[in-house]
Each structure stands twice: as structure tokens, then as C-alpha cells.
Structure 1
């Protein structure tokens, strides 16, 4: 039996089209799920994210109480913590991709699932689900911590709190997809993390630090700027529903662009 190269991977030269490994996309997702939890790094990333959320929200609420800030929705503390906590998800998603390039196991993954888009999509689905679940837990814990630390300087409405908790999960899920695409494009943890730290933190900070409405508008169209607007707008829904929708679509567009860039590199270059 001879072998031939097919789009997205290697297949057998039997003349029949290669439809990928048994189990199709569901099988690929199951495989990625097992691979993700077979190492300790994801657990450490999630524990770090939970710890950062608790510390950040306690600090945020304590400062608001000490300085006598105006009363605000208690969920704003958890929403503000995302600027830091998102990097726990970024590291987790980066490891899910680049660890396979580092060990050479990506070649095995592409042999088992020859359709390359399926491998990338399965990884994106798995890390997005994990990031959404983790994000909602982080936000719920952070809100509980902040409520005590605010000392009466925050308002609590169940609907608003639930909306912001879910919004944090949605934003972190989109960040996870963006990270997977970036990691497939960079193929190296240092390169991937450099791009993401610049995009999610350094560049927005510089633009806002320089000041001016034009630079602030640019920062607002970057992933975290749009994400922060989304997390805060949901607290005032339905009055800000259009703002929230536009903001989350902006983050989604960045995630799709990164996914397509990663897929382009994955299809063009050998593992």
C-alpha cells in the first residue's frame, strides 16, 4: 500500500477519500479533552486564576470602600479582575497547542486526525468550554469575595450578577479561541505569549496611557478593550444591549481572525 499526501494530512493511497479518524469530530474532541487533562499544567493554571481572582477582587473592593467610591454593581470587581485573570486562560490554551509541537506529538495527532482543521477546531472547542466554565466560577467566587470587602459600597441584584458572571465566562472562552489560533500560527510558547501579552495588555495600556480620544477608540477595538466594555455593559442591560452586542462581536471577530491565521499556517507547514 502506498501513501499519498492529502489536504490537511497524510492518507492511504487506496483511492478512497480520507475522512479522518474513527469517531469524526466528536472523537477528535474527546481525544483533545483527554490530552488536556493528562498533564498538571491546566490544573495549575486554573488554580492560579482562582487565586488571582480572589486577591484582585478583595483589593478592588477594599480600595473602593477605603476611598469612598460611588456605589457600583458588585460584579464590576470580578469584571475588572479579568485584565489579569485572562492570562491564566491564555497560558492554559497556549500549552494545549505548543506542548505538542515541543514534544513532536503533533505529528501523531495529525496522523490520527488527518483533517487539520478538525484538530484545530477540536482544541478550540475543548479550551473554550474549559475557559467558559472556569470563567463563571472565577467570577462567582470573585463576586462573593468582593461583596464582603466592599462594606456596603456595592449594589447586589441577582440578575445583574448572573449576567456579569456569564459574561466573564463568554469573554474568557473567546480569549481561549483567540489563543489557540495564535498558538497554531506561532507554534512556540514564547512567540505566542509575546503576541497575546502585547495584544491583550501592553498595547491597550500604552494607547490609554498616551491619552486622547482617537487612541482610546483604538484601544476600545482591541480584544480586551471591547471585552471590558462588554463586561460592564451587561450590568446595565437592556439599556446597553446594543453596546454589549457590538463589543462581544468585536472580541469574536478577533478570535475568528486568529483561528483562521492559525489554520492557514497549520495547512501550509509540516508539523
Structure 2
């Protein structure tokens, strides 16, 4: 295949949109975002919670919505291993890491766009559901929506890397479910200063701190650097496996 990275990206973009998985994931993300943010606003209103920024609702919904991105990015990789079409892909793009980079870039771009659109949807639904129990500051809302898109993009890069490392959907989903939800939930449930500190440095917790603009336990930019570090580790791990193992 000619065209270098640009050609590889174009090929991956075409492949992504020729299967139904991408469309199903995006629709599922919209449904999850709408239902969750409506529920979030309703509970805050009914229980008379303190007034909060309306953008907190779609940020909280990322707990579920992130797995839509996980499935989308994972399928872009594991489906080719399942059908052995990855062999043809690696023949067309003999520089192996370029294939992984192209898939990571394509899924990250889709995740950014989806995250922004879903953030706008979630904000609108939550605003109606809060019924006066939230504040609407344009700068805050725009910032949270954009950060949501960036967080989901990093989740996509992380997922692509883990998918190249493990290659099997069951293994990928298990690892990412534990990393993004299972272990954080367990650590918060058990409590204790040490366990809560560990949780603060896991990707979803760090991303949430950044999106909510928490100053503790670290400034918001540090939170996104932590998520980026996890994404880099996943990407480099997948790259090493791709280089050393046969398709």
C-alpha cells in the first residue's frame, strides 16, 4: 500500500464505517447519555442536592459512555484478528506500527467528535431534568464538553493498544472493565487513604478530576496527563506485541 501514514489512516477510516459496529456504538452512546443524564438530574432535583454545574451530568455519564468507545476501538482491531484479515492489512502496510497508529488516530478522532456531541446532548437533557437545580455557565459547559471528548479519545487510544496486545475481545473487555470501572469501584468501596490515593491515579478517576476541574488531589491538567500516560502505556505495549508476534 502506498501513501504512508495518510494512506493507512484513509484505509482505516473506510473500514471503520463499512461495518455496523460503529453506528451501533454511537447510537448506544446517545441512548446511554440521554438516559443517564436525565436520571442524574432527576435524582438531584428530587433529593434536593446542592446546585451544581449542569455539565457535571454528562461528565458522570462518562462512567458508562466510555465503554461504547471501548467496544468501538476494540472491534476495529480484534475483528481483523478474528477473520485473519489482519494479515492482508499488514501486507498492505508493512510498517506494522503504522497500522496501530492509524487505528488509534481514527478511533480517537471519532471518539472526540462523539464525546463533544454526546456532551451537548447530555447537557441539554440534564438542564431540562434538573429544573433549576443546576447552573449554566457557557465557559464551564464548553470546557467540560470538550474535555469529555478528549478523555474519550484517550480511552480509544488505550483500547487500541490493549487490543493489539491481547487480540481477543473477552480479554480486552475484561482488562478495560477492571481498569476503568471495576478496580476504582472496589477501591472507593473499601476506602482508606492509601486505596483512595491509588484510585486517584487510575485513568477514569484522573479524567473525572480533570473534567470536574477539581484542584485536589492535583490540578486538572495533571489529571489529563495521567490519563495520557495510561494511553501511552497501552499504545506502546500493543506496539511491542505487534512487532514481536505473528499475525
TM-score calculated relative to the size of structure 2: 0.98
- Aligned counterpart, 1:253: 229
Counterpart pick for 1:46 among 26, 43, 49: 26
- Aligned counterpart, 2:14: 34
Structure-2 separation of matches of 1:36 and 1:69:
42
CA deviation digits over 1:67-107, x for unaligned, max 9?
Answer: 00111000000000000110000000000000000000000
Counterpart pick for 2:189 among 209, 212, 219: 209
* Structure 1 runs not aligned, ≥5 long: 1-20
Structure-2 separation of matches of 1:216 and 1:43:
37
Name which one, 1 or 2, has greater alpha-carbon Rg.
1
Runs of 4+ off more than 2 Å: none
CA deviation digits over 1:235-255, x for unaligned, max 9?
Answer: x7xx78x71110000000000
- Is 2:141 aligned against 1:141? no
- Aligned counterpart, 1:119: 99
- Aligned counterpart, 1:25: 5
| Structure 1 SS opposite 2:219 | helix
Q: Select between 166-175 and 212-221 the one with higher mean Cα deviation.
A: 212-221
Aligned length: 246
| Structure 2 SS opposite 1:58 | helix
- Aligned counterpart, 2:239: 263
Counterpart pick for 1:64 among 21, 44, 47: 44
Structure-2 separation of matches of 1:50 and 1:246:
29
* Structure 2 runs not aligned, ≥5 long: none
| Aligned pairs (5 A) from 1:160-199 | 160-199=140-179
Structure-2 separation of matches of 1:138 and 1:220:
25
Structure-2 separation of matches of 1:216 and 1:46:
33
Structure-2 separation of matches of 1:253 and 1:117:
19
- Is 2:77 aligned against 1:97? yes
- Is 2:35 aligned against 1:55? yes
Structure-1 separation of matches of 2:79 and 2:62:
25
Structure-2 separation of matches of 1:204 and 1:85:
16
- Is 2:50 aligned against 1:74? no
Structure-1 separation of matches of 2:186 and 2:26:
28
CA deviation digits over 1:90-146, x for unaligned, max 9?
Answer: 000000000000000000000000000100000000000000000001110000000
**Displacement of 1:51 after TM fit?**
0.3
Counterpart pick for 1:128 among 86, 104, 108: 108
**Displacement of 1:64 after TM fit?**
0.2
- Is 2:65 aligned against 1:85? yes
- Aligned counterpart, 1:15: none
CA deviation digits over 1:2-22, x for unaligned, max 9?
Answer: xxxxxxxxxxxxxxxxxxx31
Structure-2 separation of matches of 1:243 and 1:123:
31
Structure-2 separation of matches of 1:208 and 1:246:
21
**Displacement of 1:213 after TM fit?**
1.6
